[in-house]
Structure 1
Amino acid sequence: MSQPAAAAAACGNAEGGGQKKRKTPEGAAESDKGRKSFEQSLDVAFDCLDSIRVDLEAFKASITQRITELNGNPEFVASDAVDMQVLELNVGGEYVKVKRQTLCLLCGTVLSELFCGRWDQALLRDAQNRLFVEMYPPAFHWIVGQMLLLQDGDIDHISLPDDRQTDPSFSAYVRLLLYDPSAKKPRSTAITTPDENAQQPAPSPAAAAAAAGNMELEPSVSDPGEMATPDAGGGGTNPSPALSVHPKSTEKTVGKVSDLQAALQDVVAQRTALEQRMQALEPFLRSRLHGGEEDRVVEIDVLGTKIATSLATASHLGDDSPLFNRFCKWQNEVYVASVEHVRRVVDIVRRQRITGAMPTGEERLPIPESEREGFRRVLGMYGVDEEQLFGPTDGLLTDAHLQLMAASLRDVRELRDRPLSPSLPVRLGGPLKRVYKASLHGWRYLDFLDCIRGHGPLLLLLRAAETQELLAVLIEEELRIDGPRSVGNEEQDTEETTIATRHWWWKLEGTEDRPQTGLLGEADRPYAYVYLADLKGRINGVSDFQVAEEEGLECLLNLCGNSLSLGVKRGDAAPPPPAAAAATGGGGGGQGSDAAHRSLARCQAVLLGGERPGDWPEEWSERHEKHGEEVYCLVDDGFDFICDEIEVYALVRPPRPGGGWMTD
């Protein structure tokens, strides 16, 4: 067919019905959508890059500002000459000379940051212009010695020996100064060697983009050089070399995206680590005190030996404290105490200021028993709370009791999944604080509730008057009563409060005939509920093991699965023992009509046969008529017994060191 004829036929087909019509051109504007979309994507990318740059500049400015606020030098640049400098230091009153590079050996640690040179102008200086280091001198000497061994290759890491682990004057500073916030930071994926790159196949642009940005990808062809184009008949695909795009430029761009993501992750991690280092070293730097006074070095002379600290530490207990007066007001020569005792007392206050907490129960000052009384006198001289270090001198609880309890809880499966917080210490002092002593604070239920309010976990101790047997209960949560409840427009008193909380109990002291002690009940099934009488209420229906009748017992506090009751009321029960009654002024410990004014002194303690510890003789039990099972009388004096002392200790959660910068 000739070309004119073909054209005519095509024209005829267009005019006839049912014939295929040609598409009408949509214009240049519609055809330009692809280019506009490309430009819009470029604009979004540029905006993202600009936003990232703004954020990075803000990061840099915030770090610079923080360094300036701490009196550091934001323009400092390290050099070999700086590293080789010999530093003259005053460490808690002792003169020390050491090379800067020795202290900066472990890059990334707080110690390295503190002495790198950036903070020299921020550190305190003594009268001889020596840099002042606020810490226990023997601990600093030990750290320097370890650094020298590490530097010479004699050791490959630093670890505290056992005797130093439990000495807070060593362990606190070693943990703080050798802390490296960046140590757990994962290695950046951008850091690779050429050999490693050669061994790995280059990722496709799509895969690299997905890995770099977690982007959702559109379906793509296997080879970007082969673009699908319709053939003349509208079906199938043909390779179109004219439209092929070389992938190298795309791969290079995607590679930069991956590098950028890795760099940003590294920037965030390094910024966080630097902020943590600055937070940790801040207590060692000079600062302005609350009254606006500049911090400075203050010192005293103890038997000819200088002991120095900062004004911030000396005033930490208050401007009227004996410690402040000794360093700042009184004659600064001391002849009535040993150098080590005074140095230790100063360091207790120093560590409290720097780390935010007193020593824990596991960290004990290595004061020999023969020197303990003398050391207590020095603590009193300088106004330091000795009970927080050693526990009360007149308490029921001992280190041996704590160790027995801690050992029995060590293998409890329940505590592996949900550990106590804080954990039970193995020594008195530290986080264990006595908050209630019946003979001191009063035997009334109200006295008990007032003293324990706001505290938890709690450790409750009861001592039987006749046999001196000792029972203990560890309660995980705070105990509090609900009080009156509003019903409609009227306020009604409740009878009792139920608290869901895990608790365990022990017998800590026995008798000569019944010396067995240990954890009671089933360790892996802690007791779940504690019942407290409300102030005008009572707990009714408690099992009465002293009599066979069905009447229930009335008490003020019931726990350990109905096995232990305090404040038992039995008719016209006898008042507490004379010592207890005298401690509350006579009637304060009696059997008042309201629960608030009744005494806690009468108690009941039993153990069901199924909970008998394996080493307890069966003959100690008896088959109870009412319950139809064996029950053990826990106190040799009988199911009911009178206490001559009740104490409650609170496990105090200490503040995080340095305001929370250090991880466990």
Structure 2
Amino acid sequence: MSVRRSAVMEPYTRHEALCRLDRQIIPLMEILEAERADIVSSYDIGKLLSDHGALDPSAASGDDLLKLNVGGSHSSVRRKHLTSVEGTLLAVLLGGRWDGRLVRDADSRIFIDVCPDAFGAVRDTLLEGGKEAVDQLMDQIKERNRSGPHDFWTALLLSPIDKPSSDAPTTTQAECDEPTVPSEGLLSELSGFMSEVESFVKTFTAKKNELDSERAAKKAAYDQTMMEITAVMPFLAPLSGDDPIRSIDVCGTLISTVQSTSDEMGDIGLHNRFDMWPAPIEDVPVDHVRRLVDYYRRKRHAASLPNTHLLGGVRVPLLTERAARQETFNKTAQMYGVDTQSSPNGRGGGAVFTEMQSGVRYQVVRPGSGPKPTRDQHVKIDVIEWRDDFEGQVVVRVSDQPEWTQEVLTDMRVGEVRRVTLPARLSDTGKEAYLEYRLVATL
């Protein structure tokens, strides 16, 4: 028996025994090193911020006077007031980290593409009572289900940026218990060796658990930073290229937005008004244009929201308090190509329009009771076009007008008000146009 054992063990030298142990230990040590390296490379917050153009926020001071241009309205506020409620989108945006990527106007004012009245309410709340006043305001917003005129912006700017959900596994009792190496049935001579093996197993397990906890913490911090970046991104200038400020003078009041909001409008009159025709608007209420622009601001921001609780506030600017005001506002909206009565995107789909043989589409706003004109008659009409110009009561001979105009006028009755959508191929500008006719009389 002893001879057989000697024959088996003889080639198992000390060197061979150590090599075999190394072949087990080295891969485990490499696993720990690889885990550490992966954590560092996967959740490098410094690199993440640098890649997105962030600055060191310690260079900013709470006493900095921030000169602002909010949707065309100028104001100046100390940084410490606007960032007094930590963790909110507004505090993150203006905390200093993103100063290098904030949109600025020609006078180096920070441009914020938000409704000026809404931002003024936010600013005044912070100045009046800080976090306590904000909490009260947020409670009121929830009570009215975010239906107030400024609730969308207030909730967006003053709500804490959502924290990411944790994917870290829950620690169980079994994971808390230290691992042990079974020693039953072993020779007493192996007790010291097995003690070292058990010590290694415990140390490895502890280190692995530490790395798992570190990974979970690093990932949570990284995800939170990523959520903050995502939240402020719609307010920042692009890393490459530009998002220029576009402005319209409406009855002496400047209404400004950024190109990305104008692009959100699509190929409609309102977009063209910002991009193609710089003349002042003198015949449309300021509030009407502000509402239309604010609607598209909200649409643009809503597209990047991580949750949906603010989506109900997107269309609020398209709804007025009184029916009479709604009718006149709808007329302005239609003139600029915005349908306030149909689909949620505000670009038509629900209003009843009838297509004529020429391709012109129309909607009867108010029916008339008088006779229809013939092509040989002169007619007195009111015309409103998207270019903001109310032409007044002009007298024209029907047969002198373009064929599509003749088709429209001869189909109307005196007293009728009709909205017309003119396809691009029939428009002088090569763009879809929106008009409203009122047939006053035949002559």
TM-score interval for Structure 1 and Structure 2 normalised by the shorter chain: 0.5 to 0.7
Contact residue 60 and residue 95 of structure 2 kept, 8 A: no
- Name structure 1 gaps, 5 residues minimum: 1-13, 15-19, 191-202, 211-216, 222-226, 232-237, 390-428, 442-664
2:112 aligned partner, one-letter code: V
Q: Residue 59 of structure 1 corresponds to which residue in structure 2?
A: 42
- Does residue 180 (structure 1) correspond to residue 161 (structure 2)? The answer is yes
TM value normalised by structure 1: 0.44
Query: Which of 72, 75, 81 is the aligned partner of 1:93?
Result: 72
1:336 aligned partner, one-letter code: D
Q: Deviations over 1:395-433 (max 9, x none)?
A: xxxxxxxxxxxxxxxxxxxxxxxxxxxxxxxxxx56998
Contact residue 295 and residue 316 of structure 2 kept, 8 A: no
1:304 aligned partner, one-letter code: G
Q: Deviations over 1:3-58 (max 9, x none)?
A: xxxxxxxxxxx8xxxxx866224135366565334423432234323433443444
Contact residue 88 and residue 97 of structure 1 kept, 8 A: yes
The residue correspondences of 1:569-580 to structure 2 (distance < 5 A) are: none
Instruction: Tell me the SS of whatever aligns to 2:247.
Output: strand
- How far residue 159 of structure 1 moved from its aligned partner, in angstroms, is 3.3
Query: Which of 249, 256, 260 is the aligned partner of 1:312?
Result: 260
Q: Residue 640 of structure 1 corresponds to which residue in structure 2?
A: none
Q: What percentage of residue pairs aligned between the two structures are identical?
A: 24
- How far residue 181 of structure 1 moved from its aligned partner, in angstroms, is 3.0
For residues 229 and 353 of structure 1, do their structure 2 counterparts lie closer, same or farther at Cα, with a shift above 3 Å needed?
closer
- How far residue 335 of structure 1 moved from its aligned partner, in angstroms, is 2.5
- CA distance in 1 between counterparts of 2:162 and 2:300 reads 21
- Does residue 330 (structure 1) correspond to residue 277 (structure 2)? The answer is yes
Q: Deviations over 1:142-168 (max 9, x none)?
A: 333444466364565733434571147
Query: Which of 280, 285, 288 is the aligned partner of 2:236?
Result: 285
1:101 aligned partner, one-letter code: K
Contact residue 89 and residue 156 of structure 2 kept, 8 A: no
For residues 374 and 242 of structure 1, do their structure 2 counterparts lie closer, same or farther at Cα, with a shift above 3 Å needed?
closer
- CA distance in 2 between counterparts of 1:240 and 1:164 reads 70
The residue correspondences of 1:404-553 to structure 2 (distance < 5 A) are: 429=344
- How far residue 268 of structure 1 moved from its aligned partner, in angstroms, is 1.7
Q: Residue 220 of structure 1 corresponds to which residue in structure 2?
A: 182
- CA distance in 2 between counterparts of 1:305 and 1:242 reads 86
Q: Residue 393 of structure 2 corresponds to which residue in structure 1?
A: none
Which protein has the larger Cα radius of gyration, Structure 1 or Structure 2? 1
- CA distance in 2 between counterparts of 1:432 and 1:311 reads 19
Instruction: Tell me the SS of whatever aligns to 1:385.
Output: coil
For residues 278 and 21 of structure 1, do their structure 2 counterparts lie closer, same or farther at Cα, with a shift above 3 Å needed?
same
The size of the alignment, in residue pairs, is 345
- How far residue 297 of structure 1 moved from its aligned partner, in angstroms, is 1.4
1:220 aligned partner, one-letter code: P
Q: Deviations over 1:258-283 (max 9, x none)?
A: 33211101222222232233223222
2:245 aligned partner, one-letter code: V
Instruction: Tell me the SS of whatever aligns to 2:99.
Output: coil
- Does residue 159 (structure 1) correspond to residue 139 (structure 2)? The answer is yes
Q: Residue 213 of structure 1 corresponds to which residue in structure 2?
A: none
Contact residue 101 and residue 237 of structure 2 kept, 8 A: yes
Contact residue 68 and residue 74 of structure 2 kept, 8 A: yes
Contact residue 360 and residue 431 of structure 1 kept, 8 A: no
Cα RMSD (Å): 4.4
Contact residue 89 and residue 95 of structure 1 kept, 8 A: yes
The residue correspondences of 1:121-136 to structure 2 (distance < 5 A) are: 121-136=100-115
- CA distance in 1 between counterparts of 2:165 and 2:288 reads 38
Contact residue 103 and residue 147 of structure 1 kept, 8 A: yes
Query: Which of 221, 230, 234 is the aligned partner of 1:270?
Result: 221
For residues 52 and 36 of structure 1, do their structure 2 counterparts lie closer, same or farther at Cα, with a shift above 3 Å needed?
same
Query: Which of 39, 43, 56 is the aligned partner of 2:26?
Result: 43
- CA distance in 2 between counterparts of 1:386 and 1:243 reads 79
- CA distance in 1 between counterparts of 2:334 and 2:347 reads 20
For residues 130 and 257 of structure 1, do their structure 2 counterparts lie closer, same or farther at Cα, with a shift above 3 Å needed?
same
- CA distance in 1 between counterparts of 2:271 and 2:263 reads 5
TM value normalised by structure 2: 0.63
Contact residue 166 and residue 220 of structure 2 kept, 8 A: yes
The residue correspondences of 1:181-260 to structure 2 (distance < 5 A) are: 181-182=162-163, 184-185=165-166, 207-208=175-176, 220=182, 229-230=186-187, 254-260=205-211
- CA distance in 1 between counterparts of 2:121 and 2:325 reads 24
- CA distance in 2 between counterparts of 1:279 and 1:376 reads 34
- CA distance in 2 between counterparts of 1:153 and 1:188 reads 36
- CA distance in 2 between counterparts of 1:23 and 1:99 reads 86
